[in-house]
Amino acid sequence: MPSAGDRTRSSDTTHHGFEHPFAFWAGALACTLGVLLHLPMYVSARHMGYHMRGMEADASMIAGMVLIVLGLLAVLYGLVPRRGKEIQRESARIRIRALDDAPLRGPHIALLIVMAIAVTIDVMKPTALAFVAPGVAHEYGLKSPMNPGGDIPVSWLPLAGITGTVIGSLIWGWLGDRIGRRSSLLFAGMLFVTTSICGAMPGFTWNLVMCGLMGIGAGGMLPITFTLLAETIPARHRGWLMVLIGGDIAGAYVITSWLAAELTPTYSWRILWLIGLPTGLLFIALNRWIPESPRFLLASGRRREAEQVMAKYGAVAETDDAPEQTVRTEAGRGSYRTLLRGPLLGPTLAIGILGIGVGLMTFGFQMWVPTNLQHLGYSEVNSDYVVRNAAVLGLPLTVVAAWMYGVWGSRRTLVTVCAVTGLALLGFLVAGDSLAEDRLLLSLLLVVPLTGASTVVAVVAGYAAEVYPTLVRSHGTGLAAGMTKVGGVLILSLTVAAAAVPSIGLTAVIGAVPLLLAALLFLRVGPETKSRGLEDISQELMASRS
C-alpha cells in the first residue's frame, strides 16, 4: 500500500486533476501560442490562394516551433506520475468492475458525450487526408490521377500520416497502462493542438514530418477511449454504447467532407489541418468530465479520489488478483508479447486480420474515393458532396450495428458486419467506371463501404476493450487500433512504389478479402462478450483455451 506521505501528497493535488497542474497549464498555453505564431505566414499567403510553396519560415514561425517543443515537455511533466513503474506494478493487482446492473447515470452520459467528441476529433485527422490529398498534389506538383506527370507520388502524405497512427496506437496502448487513461487522453489532445501547424508548413518535406507527428497523436485517442469506457460502463450497456460511440467515425466523415466542400475552395486544403487548434482546445476544455481510472488512482495512493470516481460511476474495487495471475501464468508479463501467447493468441489473430482488412478498405478504397471520383470526371467540390451524401445516408447503419451488438451479441455482429461490408465492396468490381454516369447509384453503393469502415472499426475496438484482461487491456485496444492502420501502411506503400493511385475496383477487392476471412475466424475463435463482466470474459477465455 502507498505510504501516508503518498496519500497526503495525492490529496493535496488531486483536486487539480493533474500531477503538476501549473506545469500542465503553462505548457498548454505555450503550445497554443506556438500554434498561433504560425498563422501570420498562412494569412499573408491569402492573395496567392493560400499557396505557401517556396516561402521561407519567418521568425514568428521559428519562435512558435520552440514554444511548442517546450510546451509539450511541460505538459508531459504535468501529467506523468512520479512513481510510474511502481504504480504500474501495483495497478496490475487491482481490478475495477462496473456494477453489471447499475443504471446509466448523469456522469455516464457526460462521459459518453465527451468520448463521442473525442472520437470525432480523433477520426477527423486521418479522414481529412482523403480531402487534403488533391490540394496538396496541385500545390506541390505531385503525381496523382489529376497530375500524372508529377515526380513524387502524393501517396507519401497519407503514408506518413498512417504510419504515425500505427506508432501512436502502440505507444498509447502502453502509455495508458503506465500513466493512466485520463493523462494519456489529454496528452493526445495536446498533440492535436500542436500538430495543426501542418496547415502552415511551406515545404512538402515539413508537411510529411508534421503529418507523421499528427498521426502519432491521432493513433492514441481511440484505444484509450474504449479502454476507459469498458472499465466505466455497466456490462448490460457497455457493448452497444461503445459501438455507438465508435460509430461516430461516420459522423466525423460527414463533418470532414462538409468542411472540405465549404472551406477548401476559399481557404485551401490547409484549413482542414488548422482546425485542429480549436477542436483540440475544445477537448482539453472538457477534461473535467473525463475521470481517471480508479484502478490507477488506487495504485498511486489516491484512494479518496478513487472512491469518489467509483461512487459516481457505480463501480467497485477488488484486490483478488486470481484472473490476472492466470494471465501472468499463461502468457507472462503485461506487454504486447502477452497478446500473442497462450489463450490470447486466437482472438488476437482474428482481431489483427480484421484490423488489416479495415485498414486496406479505409486507406485503399475510402482514402482515394475523392481522388478517383475526380478522375471519373467529378469536380473537387462535387466529389466531396457525393462522399458526404453517402456518409449521411449510412449514419443509421451505425445505430443498427449498435443494436445488433447489444441484442445479437458481439461475435454475431462482427461476423455479419464483416460479411456484408466485404460483399458490398465486391459490387464495385462489377460496376467499374460505369458509376461515373449515375450519381445516385454511386452514392447508394458508397453507403455500405463508407459506413461499414467506421462500423467495423467501432465494433473491433469495442470488442478488444472487452475481451482482453485488465492487465493488458490498453495494450489490446492499442494493438487493435494499430492493426486497422497497418493495412493502410501496406496499401499506401504499394501505391507509393507503383507511383499511381489504384482504381476503385482494385481497392475494393483488396479490402474485401481479409474482411471475409476475418468473418470466418471470429466464428471459430471469438469469445462472446454480451452483457458479461470483463473479469468473467477473461476467466472463461483462459479456462477454455488453456
pLDDT digits (tens, 9 = 90+) for 215-269: 888 777 777 887 787 777 776 777 778 777 766 666 777 788 888 888 988 999 9
Beta strands in 88-149 (DSSP E): 95-98
Which residue segment(s) compose the domain that 502 sits in? 102-318+343-544
Count the alpha carbons within 13 Å of 205 in the hemisphere toward its beta carbon: 1
**Same domain flag for 174 and 115:** yes
Q: 54: buried, middle or exposed (CB in 10 Å: 19+, 13-18, 0-12)? A: exposed
Q: For residues 349 and 525, is the Cβ–Cβ distance under 8 A?
A: yes
Q: What does the pLDDT read at residue 104? A: 79
351 and 448 in a single domain? The answer is yes
36 and 157 fall within a common domain: no
Give me the number of domains the chain comprises: 2
Judge whether 321 and 220 are in contact, CB under 8 Å. no
- Check: CB of residue 196 under 8 Å from CB of residue 275: yes
The verdict on 456 and 361 lying in the same domain is yes
Q: Which three cell numbers stand for residue 338?
A: 502477452
Q: Verify that 58 and 153 share a domain, yes or no.
A: no
CA atoms lying within 13 Å on the CB side of residue 356: 14
546 vs 538: CA distance, rounded Å = 12
Q: How buried is residue 266: exposed, middle or buried, by Cβ count under 10 Å (0-12/13-18/19+)? A: exposed
Q: Residue 11: inside a domain, yes or no?
A: no
In a domain, 1, yes or no: no
Torsion of CA 468, 471, 473, 476, to 10 degrees: -80
Q: What is the largest CA-CA distance in the chain?
A: 73
Distance CA 47, CA 506 (A): 40
CB 123 within 8 A of CB 219: no
Whether 336 is covered by a domain: the verdict is: no
User: Three-state SS across 69-93?
Assistant: HHHHHHHHHHHCCCCHHHHHHHHCC
pLDDT recorded at residue 190? 92
Give pLDDT, residue 501: 62
Claim to verify: residue 394 and residue 471 sit in the same structural domain:
yes
Cβ atoms of 181 and 474 closer than 8 Å: yes
Q: Mark whether 136 and 69 lie in a shared domain.
A: no
User: Residue 24: CB partners within 8 Å, gap ≥ 6?
Assistant: 18, 74, 75, 77, 78, 79, 186
Domain shared by 501 and 392, yes or no: yes
Residues in the chain: 546
What is the rounded end-to-end Cα distance, in angstroms, of the chain?
32
* Spatial distance between the Cα atoms of 240 and 236, rounded to a whole number of angstroms: 9
Please state, in angstroms and rounded to a whole number, the distance separating the CA atoms of residues 243 and 404.
10
Using alpha carbons, select from 166, 171, 214, 210 the residue that is nearest to residue 189: 214
Shared-domain flag, residues 482 and 357: yes
What's the confidence (pLDDT) of residue 42? 93
| Helix, coil or strand: residue 13 | helix
Q: Looking at the domain assignment, is residue 324 inside a domain? A: no
Pair (506, 537) in one structural domain: yes
Please state, in angstroms and rounded to a whole number, the distance separating the CA atoms of residues 351 and 57: 44
Question: Which ranges of the chain have pLDDT less than 50?
Answer: 1-15, 87, 320-332, 381, 546
What is the Cα–Cα distance from 457 to 219, expressed in whole angstroms? 13
Q: What is the pLDDT of residue 3?
A: 41
Whether 183 is in a domain gets the answer yes
Q: Give the cell for residue 231.
A: 472499465
User: In this predicted structure, what is the pLDDT of residue 63?
Assistant: 95
DSSP category for residue 434: G
Whether 54 and 142 map to the same domain: the answer is no
Q: Is the pTM of this model over 0.85?
A: no
Which residue from 519, 489, 483 is spatially nearest to 155, judged by alpha carbons? Answer: 489
